[in-house]
Chain A
Amino acid sequence: MLNSTQLKSIQTRIKWLPFIAFFRREIHRFSKVFIQTIFIPVINSSMYLIIFGVSLGSRLDLEGFSYLEFIIPGLVMMSCLSNAFQNSASSILSLKFAGDIVDVRVSPLTIQQTLWALAFGGVCRGILVGGVVLVVGELFHFYYLDRWLIPHSIGGLFAFSVLAGLVFSKMGVVIALWAKTFDHIGAVGGLVITPLTYLGGVFFSLEMLSPFWQKASLFNPILYFINGVRWSLIGMSDVTVVVSLIVSGLALVVCHVGGVLMIKNSQYYRRW
């Protein structure tokens, strides 16, 4: 059959390269349609900056921070996580719809490699959009407050963006595999993720809520991501950073396990 050199060469070849190829494909996919995947999301978030940050920027004062400073981190995180989610969700949907999911399934890509490649693709898009939103936010900040926003912790910013990217792109994988129609994705996005993001403290601090809603908000995982980034950027947070990290980590485990189970299940992981 195969001699040992041939066997070795195949085994080396299929170890990591399939993962790299799939990851590259993911990046290439969203870059091809960058108008929808980068440009429009950035415009959207900039609208929020203009509407809320600039119009209310000087009027509201939260624990010594201007409202503009307060919402920049929230908008950065919102862009990051929603784009990560959108990225893997639309990638999976198109794979199922066009049928090239079959190519992935019959190839030597492992379940873990498939999931991580999709997740890193989402991370890249999330960080890219979040990064551009941050740059736009900095410009507004400089223009209206006459100084740049100096990040409180670059490491924290990086860690929370990557974590959020991973969590939400894996969630996108789960939802898109589960979905039987395009509407299902829209429903989950519109009815679950967007409201939880808005309620997760992008636009307001927990302290502005009644005690009951403060408690209820603590069950919203997105709150921890937003506060993690807010702490990293301006040093302010409704919850302690360690708790944010722990919750984010747990969310990653949950979404990862969910993703693996969905990809393992050929009921879901197949062509429409």
Chain B
Amino acid sequence: MDVLKVSNLVKNYGSFCAVNGVSLKVQKGEILGLLGPNGAGKTSLIHSIVTVEDFQKGSIEVCGYNLKKEIRLCKSMIGYMPQEIINHSYFNVEEVLYYHSGYYGCFNNKDYIEHLMKKFALWEHRKKRIIQLSGGMRRRLLLAKSLVHNPELLLLDEPTSGVDVSLRDDIWEFVRRLRDEGKAILFTTHYLEEAEKLCDRVAIIHKGELVRHNKTISLIQEFTLRKLGVQLKTKVNVVHKYLKLNTENYLEFHIPFSLDIGRLLEEAGLSLSQIQDIQIQEGSLEDVFKDVLDGE
């Protein structure tokens, strides 16, 4: 079930095209990582979904409803955590959450708000105004705000930027739990290692274009090479197209996922008795990402 369906989205700022024909989907109980270098168009894409910016072409559907036709219904099902910190000049943490859920028509949810404040370690700070909070607390408040109305779809724009490691882990753990509860989650981040662990699928955009979009594991298998290090007992002369490094008695092959190792060794003319040790290093999302940036 597609909770979010973006089709051929085009977003221009004047004559500058920030998002160029991007299509993607997020399903119930799934985390999609939207990755890309600075200025790739991630925020512009999210802004189009939350109606902060208008888009020029394409369509957006939330739970099967067209965003432009059923705008209020769609908005009420989205929880949005902006990239930029939002301040509130007059209200304290508790009041901010209370009014924010009110904007979505949710009253009488004091218990849930209390639960969220405790969850995000804001409980002791609930009477503080926003200017009295640290950067990390403000981010946690943004995340709590995006959840107060129990939305089907969560859009988190760099939820962990400027947040310390332990808190980052907490946030990811929480996001994972939301996924398990059946929420659809789209988030952006620059922490590729964490994205790799967390995302069921990944979309990489570059200069406004969607350049990769698939299951995380499939992307890694398709676009990266595994590193196979072979430690030999004695020096052997080997010639092979995947051989990248050949020192004294150490060989390093960069091989595609589809090639099985037994066959490689056979092709290279190596017998098991010559080998002292073998190390395999799998490709990572970071490699996929670098491949995209190098590819141009």
Contact = CB atoms under 8 A, between A and B. Distances in A.
A and B form one complex: yes
A65 B130 CA distance: 53
A150 interface: no
A68 B51 CA distance: 54
A97 B85 CA distance: 12
Contacts of B104: 13-14, 18, 107-108
Given A18-B102, A29-B90, A105-B52, A1 B107 contact: no
Given A13-B104, A21-B103, A29-B90, A99 B51 contact: no
B76 interface: yes
A24 B106 CA distance: 14
A171 B89 CA distance: 22
Interface in B71-124: 72-73, 75-78, 80, 82, 84-91, 95, 99-107
Given A13-B106, A17-B107, A24-B99, A99 B145 contact: no
A97 B90 CA distance: 12
B82 A109 contact: no
B97 to A, nearest CB: 11
A103 B103 contact: yes
Given A97-B89, A108-B104, A21 B99 contact: yes
B100 A103 contact: yes
B64 interface: yes
A190 B102 CA distance: 36
B50 interface: yes
Contacts of B90: 28-29, 32-33, 94
A14 B101 CA distance: 11
B1 A103 contact: no
Interface string A9-38: 011011101101110110011001100000
Contacts of A104: 103
Interface residues of A, number: 36
Interface in B31-87: 50-54, 63-65, 72-73, 75-78, 80, 82, 84-87
A178 B115 CA distance: 40
A110 interface: yes
Given A1-B63, A13-B104, A266-B54, A106 B76 contact: no
Interface residues of B, number: 37
A17 B76 CA distance: 12
Consensus secondary structure, chain A interface: helix
A25 B102 contact: yes
Contacts of B145: 103
A102 interface: yes
A10 B77 contact: yes
Contacts of B75: 106-108
Given A98-B86, A103-B100, A266 B53 contact: yes
Which among A97, A108, A266 has the highest number of chain B CB atoms within 10 Å?
A108
Contacts of B51: 105-106
Contacts of A98: 86-89, 130
B88 A100 contact: yes
B139 to A, nearest CB: 14
A242 interface: no
Contacts of B100: 103, 107
A11 B77 CA distance: 11
Contact of B50 (A1, A100, A106): A106
28 contacts: A1-B1, A1-B64, A1-B65, A2-B63, A10-B76, A10-B105, A13-B106, A15-B105, A18-B103, A18-B105, A21-B102, A22-B102, A24-B102, A25-B99, A28-B90, A28-B95, A28-B99, A32-B90, A32-B91, A94-B89, A99-B84, A99-B85, A99-B86, A104-B103, A106-B51, A107-B75, A107-B103, A266-B54
Interface of B: 1, 50-54, 63-65, 72-73, 75-78, 80, 82, 84-91, 95, 99-107, 130, 145
